[in-house]
Chains A and B, each alone.
Chain A
Amino acid sequence: MVEKVRTVTDVCCPFCGTLCDDLEIDIDLKTDQVVEVRNGCQIGTKKFYASNPSEHRFEKPLIKKNGELTEVSWEEAIDKAADILVKAQRPLLYGFSSTECEAQSRGVELAELLNAILDNTASVCHGPSLLAIQDVGASLATLGEIKNRADTVIFWGSNPVHAHPRHLSRYSDFIRGYFRTDGRNDRYIIVVDPRYTHTAQIADKYIKVKPNEDYELIQSIRAVLRGTDLDVKEVAGVPIEDIKELVERLKSANFGVLFFGMGLTQSLAHHRNIETAIRLVTELNDYNKFILIPMRGHYNVAGANQVFAWNTGYAYSIDFSRGYPRYNPGEFSSVQLLMRDEVDASLVVASDPGSNFPAGAVKNLFKHPLIAIEPHKTPTSAFADVVLPAAIAGIECEGTAYRMDKVPLRLRKVKEAPGESLSDKEILERIIEKVKGKLGE
């Protein structure tokens, strides 16, 4: 029988922060298209299929001419992009979380060259976690350790059943580990959420917290842990008896872990929620081993933070306007800068601020010249002046990505990118060369 497909094994899934590394992809030998994805969850699988050529994918560089995106040569598109960036007085480079680390470090290089503002999507997801960690540190572990040891698992403001579908079966819940030989039966799962989510439905204990009162709840847990008899009868809708019971449960854990998501980082109090959660975890270490892990969304947003930090000292919201990196979320973070209309040109890499930034920020983003390095048609690329078609990292080019627990994994190339697409790294390198030429360096 003649082989019709070739199979690539041990493939990392470049979708969510779980970064599963056991996928198997079948590629049709004739068409070089993905025909089968094994082991992946629905959303991860979908990303592989979406890489096949379709009306949604860009295959050639485009420039907006007379209001229409028109196909041009790479040379012309790169020249135009470099021109926009060099002429801008306050350019913003944003995105980077859905691409690999080498492309991210080229982003840093370009930002430094342009004295630009450099930001990644942590700015609108787990930035608060980074601020909190900066204030009070954090006790962390790898997911492997959790799989083998954790007997008490809390999901706070996070719904992995939908957002990180294989997290529960690979690391945190059902999986059997070295010391947790009976898998799910060896673990006590607690879910804290205002909604009775699908994750809450499979938990051993569900705690319904009133929206935006997470901070008060964690503060009272900490006070009870200190042995304080509180004046109040309930906090955030949770009776004090339940809080006391929870504290006893946490104290008696062998190895506990707190996973938290955007329900905690992006509800009122933001980084302070995380800070008090970190402190709770630290204080629980007086009794046992307890750690916490942010449930990162984009598969390599953790990598973006790492790469930016080892290059500039800061994980996100970095300003090079004075020639050296400075950092101050709120002052130099993308949304706030755009809201104040302080940016006069933007380059967006592997991200779609057009569909998830607040309306005021998006309006100002679209008002000024915009360059999108992007494989697919998105609301952002629809309004771009220059579209540079990218190969999808982890499917059409290699690279490194950091899992949510900051373990770096190698991404594989399983097929060729359609049309004239280039990797994010190569596109950024070409822009850097052009910009250098224009700046006379």
Chain B
Amino acid sequence: MDEIKLKIKKNLKFPLEADSITPDNFAGKTIAAIKKLPVYYATKKMTIGDFFDVSGKSTEVGNTKIIMEGDLSNVKRIGEKMTGGEIEINSDVGMHVGNNMSGGKIVVNGNADDWAGAMLQGGELEITGDAGHYVGSAYRGFWQGMKDGVIKVKGRVGIESMLWAKSSKPANKWPTLYCGSADAFLGIHNHGGTIVVEGDVDRCTGADQAWGNIVVKGKVSRLLPSYKKVGEVKEVQLPNGEVIKGKFIEYSGDHTIKKETAGRLYVAA
């Protein structure tokens, strides 16, 4: 793979909006051309070259890997709308990383701020630390958020993660979130998304879920009263074919949406 290295050379007082940093935008460009791509700092339009040392080379999108170094905790929108290639971020990262991406892979070796992987349409986002609120969620006012792809968060995800996820059986699209633990309102308004939590989750998990699967291998701090116990199972089969072994209590819900619902929440027995 062709590698392009970006090392941040300034301390940021304000957030830097760097939606131009994607393999799509870098592919086939010279270093000089990449340095001229726009970024936004406070109210000013500036360039990548103003903030980053850039080196390496790239040819086509699928073969481009961007490696980012330095403190990027206040750099927003890296990987926005990317369709292929890879980004490796060796730092904490600011808001909206990988939002609307439809292909390729982003790895964050650190924590991510809010809205990581928001409206994901495909591809893979991996975060080795914790993530902020609204991981893989729909933006304000959207009724369909994450539609495909996979998000893996080793640590905790913040509130309202996977909001308005939407699967499609005919198109074989199964948006999936794996995480270590989760705050309140995980998978709210779920319409077919799959969520697997290794540890515990906070209150209101699966609120207003229409259909879909949420598997919690730990505890739920306060189960919604509008969920009903169905029985116990020894394994859970996910729509993407994966099977999760273990004893779970199966709940149906959310019954606020329908009296009989295909929504399921599995909590370790």
**Contact residues of A with B, CB < 8 Å?**
89-90, 114-116, 131, 134-135, 215-216, 219-220, 222-223, 226-228, 230-232, 235, 268-269, 272, 276, 279, 320-322, 327-331, 342, 344
Residues on A with C-beta less than 8 A from B14 are 89-90, 342
Determine whether the beta carbon of B256 is less than 8 Å from that of A223.
yes
Tell me the nearest residue of chain B to A327, going by C-beta.
Answer: B140
Interface string of B214-243 (1 = CB under 8 A from A): 000000001011111100000000000000
Q: Which residue from B42, B114, B255 sits with its C-beta under 8 Å from A331?
A: B114
Partner of A228, one of B45, B188, B228: B228
By the criterion CB–CB under 8 Å, are A226 and B258 in contact?
yes
B15: interface (CB < 8 Å) = yes
User: Looking at the complex, which one of A90, A114, A131, A269 makes contact with B140 (CB distance below 8 Å)?
Assistant: A131
Which of B's residues lie within 8 Å of A, judged by CB?
A: 13-15, 17, 40, 42-45, 95, 114-115, 133, 139-141, 143, 160, 184-185, 188, 203-204, 207-208, 222, 224-229, 254-259
Inter-subunit contact A328/B140 (CB<8 Å): yes
Residues of A within 8 A of B256 (CB): 219, 222-223, 226, 276, 279
Residue of A nearest to B164 (CB): A135
Nearest to B45 among chain A residues (CB) is A322
Is A89 a contact partner of B42 (Cβ separation < 8 A)?
yes
Q: In the complex, A268→B203 CA distance in Å?
A: 11
Using A134-B141, A223-B225 as known contacts, list a sample of 6 further A-B pairs with CB atoms less than 8 Å apart, ordered by residue number in A: A114-B43, A216-B224, A219-B207, A272-B204, A331-B95, A342-B14
A329 and B140 alpha carbons, distance in the complex (Å)? 9
In the complex, chain B residues whose CB is within 8 Å of the CB of A220: 225-226
A-B contact pairs, 21 of them (CB 8 A): A89-B14, A90-B42, A90-B43, A115-B43, A134-B140, A135-B143, A216-B204, A219-B226, A222-B256, A223-B254, A226-B255, A226-B257, A226-B258, A228-B259, A231-B225, A231-B228, A269-B204, A321-B40, A328-B140, A331-B95, A344-B13
Chain B residues near A328 (CB-CB < 8 A) = 139-140
Q: Which residues of A are found within 8 Å of B224, using beta-carbon distances? A: 216, 219
- Chain B residues in 8 Å Cβ range of A216: 203-204, 222, 224-225
Name the A residues within 8 Å of B143 (CB-CB): 135
Docked-complex contact B254 and A219, CB < 8 angstroms: yes
Chain A facing B: main interface SS? loop
Please tell me if the beta carbons of B228 and A89 are within 8 angstroms of each other in the complex: no
Roughly how many angstroms separate A172 CA and B44 CA in the complex, as a whole number? 51
The answer for the CA separation of A427 and B23 in the assembled complex, in Å, is 49
A310 to B224, CA, bound (A): 38
A230–B252 alpha-carbon span in the complex (Å): 11
- Chain B min CB distance to A91 (Å): 8
Return the chain A residue nearest B42 by Cβ.
A89
Known A-B contacts A134-B140, A228-B228; A330 and B42 likewise in contact (beta carbons under 8 Å): no
CB distance from B269 to the nearest CB of A (A): 16
CA distance A226 to B256 in the complex (A): 7
**CA gap between A268 and B160 in the complex, in Å:** 13
Q: Which residue of A lies closest to B253 (CB)?
A: A223
By a CB distance below 8 angstroms, the chain B residues around A116 are 43
A230, A269, A327: the one within 8 Å of B225 (CB): A230
A397–chain B nearest beta-carbon distance, Å: 32
Question: Is A330's CB under 8 angstroms from B114's CB?
Answer: yes
Would you call B226 and A321 a contact (CB within 8 A)? no
One of B139, B226, B229 near A222 (C-beta < 8 A):
B226
Residue from the list B160, B208, B255 in contact with A276, Cβ < 8 A: B208
Q: A131 CA to B255 CA in the complex, in Å?
A: 23
Cβ contacts under 8 Å, B228 to chain A = 228, 230-231
B95 contact set on A, CB distance < 8 A: 331
In this complex, the member of B45, B224, B255 whose beta carbon has the largest number of chain A beta carbons within 10 angstroms is B255
Query: Which residues from B are CB-within-8-Å of A331?
Result: 95, 114-115
Q: Say whether A321 contacts B184, CB under 8 Å.
A: no
